[in-house]
Structure 1
Amino acid sequence: MAYAKVFPGSAGPLDLRHLRHFVVLAETLHFHRAAERLHLAQPSLSRSIRTLEQDLGTLLFLRNQREVRLTSAGAALLPEARLLLAQAARTQRLMQDIGRGDAGLLRIGFISSTAITLLPFLLRGFRAAHPRVRLELQEMSSAAQTRALLAGQMDVALIRDMEAGPDIRQHSLLRERLLLLVPTGHALVEQAPVSFSRLVDADIVLLRREVAPGSYDRIWANCLAHGLQPRILMELADSNAVLSMVAAGLAVSFLFSSFAQAARPGVTFLPLQDEMADSEVSLAWQEQVAQQSPALRSFIRLAQSAFPLLD
């Protein structure tokens, strides 16, 4: 019985094509039938198997004119080869899915007010179209989100009242008005819409300026315009804390109209009589990142379609 020689050492890296040919031959143990399954000429299959044996430095098959059998090395290789080919197929599908925006990771930053209706709306639409994309969400101030975008730590951001700079693209989503928050049953409820001049004796809690600089500056500007030196009880970093302070009857405050859609017992939202510029919420991203991320491009298209450019 004439067997192929043993190959000392490895001649090169493994080739997945040779592994596929090996698996089919190992399953059929017949060169002609294996070549037919692979749509190869039989000499080409023989060369492929010899190359794999050279690469591995060992015989994989014992063959003569009557039979083809796996060697012990071939038998050991067969389950490993199947695993490698399955993993390669999964990797190929994953890369194709990522290329279509159907898989991968999307890192989204947001401000607290958008978590009430805007962000859930966008996430529902995106998840319906791309259920396999993994989402990472982080609540941050608008300024912190801008820094994270520039540092490559975030893919897309929902920011308020910011010109993020020349390296950041923005799309305006919506405009909101500031509303006055008072404890339920407060005397100002009967005076709505409320003028700033009515707040002369009121204790006020505000979001810190670094959290919401646009609204903070608007409130101060309107107070000063009405000759009012506001009695700031405290400045807080979280909108929930603001709501809790108002609900406890300790102070009045200001939040954007989106918060009125998340009712809080003990808090009443009132319109303001005095005109203040609207607050603008925008989607922000780096164009060079979007060019490399189909998932991000899809998220941007969804937002732009749902919220056409504001006038």
Structure 2
Amino acid sequence: MELRHLRYFITVAEELSFSKAAIKLHTAQPSLSQQIKDLEDEIGVQLFHRTKRKVELTDEGHVFLEQARLTITQADKAVTMARQVAAAKVQCLRIGFVPSAEIRIFPYILPRLRVKIPKLQICTLNLKETDQITELKKGDLDIIFINQDFQNDTFASQLVLKEPLVFMLPKQHPFAKFEEIKLEQLKELELTILSNKLSQPLSKTILQYIEFNKIQFKTIHETNHIVDCIQAVNSGVSCAILPSYMEALATDQVIVKPLAKPLPSLDVFMAFNKNPPNQATEQFLEEIRQVFALDQFALYAS
């Protein structure tokens, strides 16, 4: 016995007409009659007295009608409660990121996402790129923002933005008065950059720029902490090449100057599962597509 049999029976009992009940149920009358007969055969009692002029409930039918209504009411209540629990359940979106995403992307996407999914819990983790990729593969992160193109049969990758690199030097340095610094002048300066261990794409981009343009610095220091780069410039010890978002963290003792040969940009990619595991991930992809004018097909075609 299925719930639809009970619904058919209740409708016929209320209409006391197979033809009217069939219209109400959007089904054919012969099919409805057969469904009721199957129900009677299954429970082993006659539920209706049928004549050419009228349809009446039997005594057994009256009792069955009362219980059938209770059963349907309880079933509907169970469905409603289950849906309410699902709606109330807190969704969680787990995002790994490099710092530029926190400044350039999140302020424009996360507020929109919270409007679309009010109960959404967003967990953002600032991790090394290798750790982000590992966590994405394990399914412990839903979306990651990294400075390299990571994609395979399971994961797609999309370029979201290009983060300009800037040259920072102490405000009191003699070169600070120049509108532009010539590359040959850099041989008098010490340079501090982030180590390959912390950010391989950033380190690689900077070193390739230096090598390609045959630039010679007095010395090149590497550090595992981005704050150390800023501090080295702030204290007057060194200059630095950093993503432009770091200007917001610099003190008034740090100045940004263009080089004669423009610095490259650092690509910021978004990587995610080609089959988004939840509504929150799908909505995030839709919001970022709209805000950053990304091609919808490209999000899944990688």
Alignment partner of 1:231 out of 206, 219, 224: 219
Query: Offset at 1:209?
Result: 1.2
Q: Output the CA distance in 2 between the equivalents of 1:219 and 1:136.
A: 31
TM-score by structure 2 length?
0.66
On the 8 A contact 1:175/1:280 being kept in 2, the answer is: yes
Distance (Å, rounded) in 1 between the aligned partners of 2:174 and 2:232 = 17
Is 1:196 equivalent to 2:183 in the alignment? yes
Aligned-residue identity in percent: 18
**CA contact under 8 A between 1:183 and 1:249: conserved in structure 2?**
yes
Q: Give 2:284's match in structure 1, choosing from 296, 299, 309.
A: 299
The answer as to 2:115 corresponding to 1:124 is no
1:95 aligns with 2:82: no
Q: What's the counterpart of residue 150 of structure 1?
A: 137
- AA aligned to 1:133 is L
CA RMSD of aligned residues (A): 3.0
Question: 1:169-215 deviations in whole A, cap 9, x for unaligned?
Answer: 12222112211111222222222432333221222211111332223
Secondary structure in structure 2 of the residue aligned to 1:116 = helix
Aligned CA distance change for structure 1 residues 45 and 153 (closer, same or farther; 3 Å): same
Structure 1 position 273 matched with structure 2 position 260: yes
Quick check: 2:151–2:271 contact (8 Å CA) kept in 1?
no
How far off its partner does 1:46 sit? 5.0
Q: Report the AA paired with residue 293 of structure 2.
A: P
User: Counterpart amino acid of 2:200?
Assistant: P
Specify every segment of 5 or more residues in structure 1 that has no aligned partner in the other structure, as ranges: 1-40, 51-84
Q: Which digits, 9 at most, give the CA deviation of each residue in 1:2-53, with x for residues without a partner?
A: xxxxxxxxxxxxxxxxxxxxxxxxxxxxxxxxxxxxxxx7545558999xxx
Deviations 1:48-83 (A, max 9, x none): 999xxxxxxxxxxxxxxxxxxxxxxxxxxxxxxxxx
Q: How has the CA–CA distance of structure 1 residues 97 and 110 changed in structure 2, closer, same or farther, with 3 Å as cutoff?
A: same
**Counterparts in 2 of 1:101-180, with a 5 A limit?**
103-160=90-147, 162-166=148-152, 167-180=154-167
Deviations 1:101-151 (A, max 9, x none): xx4100011111222232222212212222211111100123321222112
Closer/same/farther in 2, CA of residues 96 and 243 from structure 1, 3 Å limit: same
Q: CA offsets per residue over residues 252-277 of structure 1, 9 Å max, x none? A: 11111222244533222222221444
Choose the corresponding residue for 2:235, options 248, 272, 276. Answer: 248
Q: In structure 2, what residue type is equivalent to 1:137?
A: T
- Kindly tell me the number of residue pairs found equivalent between the two proteins: 229
- Per the TM alignment, residue 294 of structure 1 is displaced from its structure 2 partner at its CA by 0.9
Q: Quote the Cα distance in structure 2 between the aligned partners of 1:306 and 1:136.
A: 21
Give the deviation of 1:90 after TM superposition. 5.8
1:206 to 193, 209, 222: 193
Q: C-alpha separation between the residues in 2 aligned to 1:236 and 1:121?
A: 31
TM-score, structure 1 normalization: 0.64
Q: In 1, distance between residues paired with 2:265 and 2:107? A: 22
- SS, match of residue 177 in structure 1: strand
**Amino acid of the structure 2 residue aligned with 1:294:** Q
Distance 2:228 2:139 in 1: 31
Partner SS, residue 188 of structure 2:
coil
**Structure 2 unaligned blocks of 5 or more:** 1-61, 72-76, 296-302
